[in-house]
């Protein structure tokens, strides 16, 4: 393969890297993306076989430690109640996400001003609004305009029809109605009719282990085909070890291992990091030099600090009648009744309830056993029949506030298959998050029972729920208090940019993917406006 210098080198082919590549292609610069994982073959997704549940807990697990593929890197998350969930491959985490696709609220950018906690962002909702709109057109978003809890869509006609509610959403909606709470059909990155050559959803229900239908908008089938047709080069099985720095203090390329395990150097005029809130600090901390002995772009000492998850509460109800089981996308309704701060609840900020449907037969059995609802013995099958296709519920996506002691560092002993130090997670659940989780469980339990549930089971925080990785290379105006500036450029290195969730200042109470992609489009738009200065 050619090792000729490129104008722009993007590291990571997931949600943000794909959007960045697509948005820069009209500059006619030579753009290269290096991705440590592979292209995905939808024919191999678990939902194409009867053993889909077993495979979704193994080779398609959300945990890189459980998957243990050569394209993964291990993560030491033993010192965290929430384990890391990610995916390495073209499409990144969008391969295994649920397609739940909310926007931030305007208030999410101003929490210091409104609530006196954390920090305000250096940009606001209005800055990102046009980039949300662009992303929606590329992605294909199912939803229903008019949600009173959210700003209006710039063009409501761009929305595809909302996901079907089914019996499960009907039961949960009945409970919300009984409590007098807000709920609405949720925005979802799932095609409900043909969109950009992708077929409509057929309600397989195995969204979290890859969509074999192609209805779920993972970036390997949305942004990347368009970007590649227009000249972007994407190399897979290329694991970047470190970003190289020239004598002038500018990034001049990367050292990486190719698919044969051979060390290569790729020169570049501009480097863009799109490797998530754990992968980005890992790479920056691994990129040490005499100029940056504590890691590249780390004069503030904040690279790897302020790690935010969304602590999840999972609340499920058992209903007397048969519901949908696992059929259909889960994220079809949401409630943001408890989104904004109300100090009478005992905590600041808030959360979103995202509906989930039921589970497959094996997961139903495992849940019943874990919660003591399936005693072994002669009555086992009778008790199982009382759970099968009768469970539905929701998760509460709780806003996590930034705290410096929640960190990503380099593990002194654990390494990946190329000998690169692995990330180590140190994370403590805050008192505020604990109170929010308890409140969310209590209120959701009330709503499920009001909707007809005869039994309720919960877990908080959800131990496997480290899907959303944010805050570890935060955005800000002051170089002493942030890693990148208000348009994603590292304060310390003029030609180094970050476009993933690590630049988040706060986490909001919603899934971050839509905002990550809007930020990637916004940052690359800023780059295009400043092209004359990028290569100085």
Nearest to 324 by CA among 203, 496, 455, 200: 203
Which residues are CB-neighbours of 411 under 8 A, at least 6 positions away? Answer: 76, 421, 422, 423, 424
Alpha-carbon gap, residue 213 to 363, rounded angstroms: 22
Q: Strand 496-498 and strand 407-415: pairing? A: unpaired
Which runs of E-coded beta strand occur in 365-519?
A: 391-398, 407-415, 421-426, 455-459, 496-498
Predicted confidence at residue 205, as pLDDT, reads 86
Predicted confidence at residue 67, as pLDDT, reads 93
How would residue 2 be classed by pLDDT, with cut points 50, 70 and 90? low
H/E segment holding residue 524: helix 513-529
Residue with tokens 């606001």: 124
How would residue 50 be classed by pLDDT, with cut points 50, 70 and 90? confident
Predicted confidence at residue 532, as pLDDT, reads 66
CA dist 97 → 257, 262, 315, 356, 413 (Å): 28, 32, 19, 13, 30
Q: Where is pLDDT greater, at 367 or 283?
A: 283
Full-model pTM: 0.96
Q: Which residues pair with 470 in a beta bridge?
A: 308
Options 2.40.160.50, 3.30.950.10, 3.30.460.10, 3.50.50.60; CATH for 6-143+158-358+390-534 is 3.50.50.60
Alpha-carbon gap, residue 335 to 357, rounded angstroms: 15
pLDDT, mean over the chain:
95
How much is the average pLDDT of 407-412?
A: 98
In the chain, what are the domain boundaries? 6-143+158-358+390-534
Convert the pLDDT of each residue in 424-435 to its tens digit.
999 999 999 999
Which residues are CB-neighbours of 376 under 8 A, at least 6 positions away? Answer: none
Q: Is 309 helix (H, G, I), strand (E, B) or coil?
A: coil
HSE at residue 292, side-chain half, CA atoms within 13 A, is 27
H/E segment holding residue 384: helix 380-385
Convert the pLDDT of each residue in 353-364 to its tens digit.
999 998 899 999
How much is the average pLDDT of 321-331?
A: 89
CA dist 526 → 21, 80, 127, 401, 523 (Å): 14, 36, 11, 28, 5
Helices 513-529/15-24 angle, 10° precision: 30
- Least confident piece of the model among 33-47, 82-96, 125-139, 322-336: 322-336
DSSP letters along 77-132, please?
Answer: EEE-SS-B----BTTGGGGTS--B-PPPPGGGG-HHHHHSSS---SS-HHHHHHHH
Q: Is 412 exposed, middle or buried (0-12, 13-18, 19+ CB in 10 A)?
A: exposed
Which runs of E-coded beta strand occur in 251-303?
A: 251-257, 263-273
How would residue 473 be classed by pLDDT, with cut points 50, 70 and 90? very high
Alpha-carbon gap, residue 355 to 315, rounded angstroms: 10
How much is the average pLDDT of 11-28?
A: 97
pLDDT at 7 over 90: yes
Q: Is residue 15 within 8 Å of 513, Cβ to Cβ?
A: yes
Predicted confidence at residue 215, as pLDDT, reads 95
Q: End-to-end alpha-carbon separation of the chain, Å?
A: 28
Predicted confidence at residue 488, as pLDDT, reads 98
pLDDT at 241 over 60: yes
């Amino acid at each position: 393969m050619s090792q000729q210098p490129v104008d722009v080198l993007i590291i990571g082919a997931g949600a943000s890297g794909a959007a960045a590549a697509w948005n820069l292609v009209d500059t006619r610069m030579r753009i290269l993306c290096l991705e440590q994982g592979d292209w995905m073959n939808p024919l191999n997704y678990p939902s194409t076989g009867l053993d889909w549940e077993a495979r979704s807990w193994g080779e398609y697990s959300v945990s890189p430690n459980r998957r243990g593929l050569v394209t993964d890197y291990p993560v030491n998350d033993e010192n965290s109640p929430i384990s890391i969930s990610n995916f390495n491959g073209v499409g990144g985490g969008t391969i295994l996400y649920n397609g739940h696709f909310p926007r931030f609220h305007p208030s999410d950018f101003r929490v210091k001003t409104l609530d006196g906690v954390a920090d305000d962002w250096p940009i606001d909702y209005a800055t990102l609004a046009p980039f949300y709109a662009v992303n929606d057109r590329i992605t294909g978003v199912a939803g229903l305009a008019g949600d009173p809890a959210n700003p209006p869509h710039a063009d409501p006609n761009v929305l595809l029809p909302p996901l079907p509610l089914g019996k499960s959403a009907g039961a949960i909606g009945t409970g919300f109605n009984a409590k007098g709470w807000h709920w609405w059909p949720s925005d979802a990155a799932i095609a409900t009719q043909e969109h950009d050559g992708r077929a409509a959803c057929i309600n397989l229900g195995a969204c979290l282990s890859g969509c074999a239908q192609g209805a779920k908008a993972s970036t390997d089938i949305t942004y990347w085909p368009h970007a590649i047709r227009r000249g972007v080069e994407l190399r897979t099985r290329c694991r970047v070890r470190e970003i190289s720095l020239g004598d002038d203090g500018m990034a001049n390329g990367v050292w990486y291992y190719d698919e044969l395990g051979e060390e290569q150097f790729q020169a570049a005029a501009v480097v863009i990091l799109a490797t998530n809130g754990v992968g980005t600090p890992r790479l920056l901390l691994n990129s040490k030099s005499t100029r940056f002995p504590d890691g590249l772009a780390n004069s503030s000492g904040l690279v790897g600090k302020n790690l935010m998850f969304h602590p999840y509460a999972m609340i499920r109800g058992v209903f007397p009648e048969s519901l949908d089981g696992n059929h259909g996308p889960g994220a079809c309704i949401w409630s943001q009744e408890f989104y904004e701060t109300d100090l009478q609840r005992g905590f600041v900020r808030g959360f979103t309830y995202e509906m989930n449907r039921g589970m497959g037969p094996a997961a139903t059995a495992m849940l019943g056993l874990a919660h003591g609802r399936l005693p072994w013995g002669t009555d086992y099958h009778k008790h199982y029949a009382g759970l099968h296709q009768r469970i539905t519920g929701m998760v509460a996506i709780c806003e996590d506030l930034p705290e410096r002691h929640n960190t990503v560092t380099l593990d002194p002993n654990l390494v990946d298959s190329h000998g690169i130090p692995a990330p180590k997670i140190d994370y403590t659940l805050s008192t505020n998050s604990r109170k929010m989780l308890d409140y969310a469980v209590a209120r959701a339990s009330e709503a499920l029972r009001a909707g007809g549930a005869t039994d309720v089971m919960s877990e908080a925080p959800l131990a496997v729920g480290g899907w959303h990785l944010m805050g570890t290379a935060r955005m800000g105006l002051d170089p002493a208090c942030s890693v990148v500036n208000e348009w994603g450029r590292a304060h310390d290195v003029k030609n180094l940019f970050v476009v993933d969730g690590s630049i988040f200042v706060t986490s909001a109470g919603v899934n971050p993917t839509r905002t990550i992609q809007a930020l990637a489009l916004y940052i690359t738009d800023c780059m295009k406006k400043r092209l004359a200065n990028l290569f100085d």
